């Protein structure tokens, strides 16, 4: 497929605002399909198909491909490129506003209940898309992302070098960099290299917490002020007094002077449990006071 010719044919230019760098290297496209372990019986959800270069490879490997594109100007060339493919469904829309269960239920069976995700997405919505997919009634078996190498390295970070994106992704699955893709494999070539990141997803999140929303609130508060020690950043970002934050950290055996990037997933989970209970107790106490003065 000649991406430049397709762009000229439809009078299109890559949009910098959407981070459009189209992957044109055939070897890299094949690597992505192999990284996703696509089998002939698989259903694949592709997010951000661009001009359909990878979509064609996915159609060759999978039983059916459902591809979601947010840029409506790419729909005419996509339909043209995929015209001779009978095992693809093209959907215009924002994946965050679409229900994966609705998209996929028609194509899955009791014998083959799982699907795989292949996505080329901006890094800033990576965790939002993963959470959206994982909280749907029908969950993917694995996710393969093509993203900037630096972002992929951030996602696979370990304690002492953790970040909010890493915690958000690793809460749900185990990420690993499978391939590195040089900038020259794209048109137009970006300023940095990219990576193929695979996230294997267990049936349940890797951290056992009662309230997933609270887990993310606690982690976001912890990373909210990077230069500060954990007790200060948590106090600034959570509806608890400083002494309550100290209590939560002491109960979980976490040194208040540590910084967020040093905590393990398990420590975030334990901390979430204690913080959640403190907030609930505080809410009950506030309600009691309200009743007293009525």
| Cβ–Cβ under 8 Å, residues 274 and 240 | no
| Tokens read off for 5 | 């010719």
CATH of 212-293, one of 1.20.140.10, 1.10.8.100, 2.40.50.140, 3.30.2130.10: 1.10.8.100
Q: Using the CB atoms, write b or e for 241-254: b if 16+ within 10 Å.
A: eeebbeebbeebeb
> What's 224-247 look like in SS3?
CCCCCCHHHHHHHHCCCCHHHHHH
What CA–CA distance (Å, rounded) separates 104 from 115?
A: 8
Kindly list the distances between the CA atom of residue 45 and the CA atoms of 32, 129, 137, 261, in Å, as whole numbers in the listed order.
14, 12, 15, 33
d(CA 189, CA 262): 35
pTM above 0.85?
Answer: yes
Residue where the block lists tokens 């890094």: 123
Rounded to an integer, what distance in angstroms lies between the CA atom of residue 151 and that of residue 188? 19
Measured in whole angstroms, the distance separating CA 62 from the mean position of its chain's CA atoms is 22
Show pLDDT as tens, one digit a residue, over the chain (294 residues). 788 889 899 998 888 777 788 999 999 999 999 999 999 999 999 999 999 999 999 999 999 999 999 999 999 999 999 999 999 999 999 999 999 999 998 898 877 778 999 998 877 788 888 889 888 888 899 999 999 999 999 999 999 999 999 999 999 999 999 999 999 999 999 899 999 999 999 888 899 999 999 999 999 999 998 789 999 999 999 999 999 999 999 999 999 999 999 999 999 999 999 999 999 988 876 655 443 333
Fold of 3-200: Rossmann fold (3.40.50)
Domain extents in the chain: 3-200, 212-293
């Amino acid at each position: 497929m000649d991406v430049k010719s397709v762009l000229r044919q439809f009078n299109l230019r890559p949009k910098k605002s959407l981070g459009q760098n189209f992957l044109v290297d055939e070897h890299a496209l094949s690597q992505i399909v192999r990284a996703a372990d696509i089998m002939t019986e698989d259903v694949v959800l592709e997010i951000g198909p661009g001009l359909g270069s990878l979509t064609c490879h996915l159609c060759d490997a999978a039983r059916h491909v459902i591809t979601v594109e947010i840029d409506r100007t790419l729909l005419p060339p996509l339909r043209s490129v995929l015209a001779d493919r009978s095992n693809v469904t093209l959907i215009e829309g924002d994946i965050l506003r679409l229900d994966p269960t609705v998209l996929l239920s028609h194509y899955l069976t009791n014998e083959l209940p799982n699907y795989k995700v292949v996505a080329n997405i901006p890094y800033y919505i990576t965790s939002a898309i993963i959470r959206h997919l994982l909280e749907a009634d029908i969950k993917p078996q694995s996710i393969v992302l093509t993203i900037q190498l630096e972002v992929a390295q951030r996602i696979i970070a370990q304690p002492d070098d953790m970040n909010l994106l890493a915690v958000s992704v690793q809460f749900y699955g185990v990420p690993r960099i499978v391939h590195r893709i040089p900038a020259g494999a794209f048109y137009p070539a970006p300023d940095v290299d990219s990576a193929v990141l695979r996230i294997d997803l267990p049936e349940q999140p890797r951290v056992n917490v009662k309230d997933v929303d609270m887990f993310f609130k606690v982690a976001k508060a912890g990373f909210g002020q990077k230069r500060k020690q954990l007790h200060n950043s948590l106090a600034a970002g959570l509806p608890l007094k400083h002494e309550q934050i100290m209590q939560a950290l002491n109960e979980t055996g976490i040194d208040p002077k540590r910084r967020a990037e040093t905590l393990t997933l398990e420590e975030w989970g334990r901390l979430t449990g204690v913080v959640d209970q403190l907030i609930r107790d505080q809410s009950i106490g506030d309600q009691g006071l309200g009743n007293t003065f009525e």
